[in-house]
Amino acid sequence: MNRYFDTNATTPLSEAAREAWLKISEKHWHNPSSLYREAGVAKRHLEDCREQLGDLLGCEPERIVFTSGATEANNLVFELAARQTETKAGRVLISGVEHPSVRESARKWFGKERLVELPVTADGGLDLSALEKELNGGVALVSVMAANNETGVLQPWEAVRDLCAKAGVPFHCDAAQWLGKLRANGLGDCPFLTGSAHKFGGPKGTGFLLVPEDGGTPDFAGLTGGPQEGGRRAGTEDLASIAAMVTALEEASALLSEAFVREKNADRDWFDEEARQRIPGLQVVAPKAPRLWNTTMLVLPRHQNLKWLTRLSRLGFAVSTGSACSSGKENPSHVMEAMGLDYDKMGRVMRLSGAWATTREDWAALLEALENVWNELESGVRPGGKRGRVSLTHPDPTSLFSE
């Protein structure tokens, strides 16, 4: 039984990725920059990984810079864009639903005045006409994610990529949630692309950034102090984790037949429909929009989302409140805000994100648990008859809210 419904936060290391990690750690742990034979073998493994990843993404391997994950990659893109912008007049355009590592980097390097947050529709998809209007010169970078981490809504990144190419504006796509869940076709054609290993069965703390063929400005270095990654990011490469990442992406990508995606979408849609029928007043966010097959965002009919989460946790189910505020007092989710959800609803959202192995039976078990929690909250009585507070069984409650 699969009760983990927080895949968009992170995934466990896949068995194949673990084996790849162990093999490199045991046999090829040498520094790829050293000059003796064993180090040369490590270097060859590193470049093989780059090639394999290039094949999976459909891009030249030289464009890949290995990083510590998507946060670092997203940060680097904005630093690079800021350095490339000759005049201080350049603006950056991002969608209103980007991950904080995009949003806050954009603010840091361009300031509020030069940052344009493009609107999304009520379904959470980028308003392309707003982008077209803004693409009128003086744009240093456009950044639009491939799939949203909270709602799972797919963004029209192909259309954005093509519009930007026509306008001669660099485009960055944060594909952290897309990769491993949907085919990578065409993503390698984005001038800048971000990926993160732990979102598809690879290890945490590893990811990559794709840069344009020319690598951006010749003097660009995200981290300085060493010649690694073609001088674009100093620091000894974590070859074991890189090998595990590439293995995990290969493994996940091999599953992604049309039939697989269709079946998984149908399971999630079945859950959405059943949940709506069995829990009166429950809403699904953007049910008609194209979404990641593993993700659904609910607005619960009553009671703060944390109350639901703690009770589900006690029943063994791991779910998330997304980035939404649980108390309703501070830091409401900017994604929900951009989609026009009112403040009251923001405190009642719940993100469910299944895994590759999640079956309809797993969704059905979650549904039953949700129904139990709903009955319990409505009656104010715990199953078993006791009234009062429910305590978390999780050893570290804060980890339940991590993104």
User: Is 207 a residue that touches ligand PMP (CB under 6 A)?
Assistant: yes
Nearer to ligand PMP, 274 or 403 (CB): 403
Cβ atoms 282, 276 nearer than 8 A? yes
Which of 69, 156, 191, 347 lies at the binding interface for ligand PMP (CB under 6 A)? 69
Which of 7, 11, 14, 71 lies at the binding interface for ligand PMP (CB under 6 A)? 71
Which of 11, 85, 149, 294 lies at the binding interface for ligand PMP (CB under 6 A)? 149
Of the listed pieces 69-77, 118-126, 301-309, 312-320, which binds ligand PMP according to CB under 6 A?
A: 69-77
Report the nearest approach of ligand PMP to the CB of residue 322 (Å): 10
User: Is 176 a residue that touches ligand PMP (CB under 6 A)?
Assistant: yes
* 325 counts as catalytic: yes
User: Is 196 a residue that touches ligand PMP (CB under 6 A)?
Assistant: yes
Any residues with CB less than 8 A from the CB of 366 and at least 6 apart, and which? 3, 5, 271, 312, 317, 352
Using CA atoms of 60, 211, 185, 115 in order, give the dihedral in degrees to the nearest 10.
Answer: -170
328 three-class SS? coil
CA 272 – CA 290 distance, rounded (Å): 14
DSSP 182: B
Residues 114-143 within binding reach of ligand PMP (CB under 6 A): none
User: Is 320 a residue that touches ligand PMP (CB under 6 A)?
Assistant: no
Cβ atoms 212, 164 nearer than 8 A? no
Report the nearest approach of ligand PMP to the CB of residue 9 (Å): 7
Report the nearest approach of ligand PMP to the CB of residue 200 (Å): 11
How deeply is 389 buried, as exposed, middle or buried, from its count of CB atoms within 10 A (0-12, 13-18, 19+)? Answer: exposed
The catalytic position among 59, 164, 190, 325 is 325
Report the nearest approach of ligand PMP to the CB of residue 176 (Å): 4
Residues 78-107 within binding reach of ligand PMP (CB under 6 A): 99, 101
Nearest residue to 81 via CA among 145, 171, 144 = 171
Q: Which run of H or E residues covers position 304?
A: none
Cβ atoms 60, 54 nearer than 8 A? yes
Report the nearest approach of ligand PMP to the CB of residue 118 (Å): 16
Any residues with CB less than 8 A from the CB of 109 and at least 6 apart, and which? 78, 79, 81, 82, 92
Which of 57, 70, 240, 306 lies at the binding interface for ligand PMP (CB under 6 A)? 70
Q: Give catalytic residue positions.
A: 325
Q: Which residues bind ligand PMP (CB under 6 A)?
A: 69-71, 74, 99, 101, 145, 149, 174, 176-177, 196, 207, 403
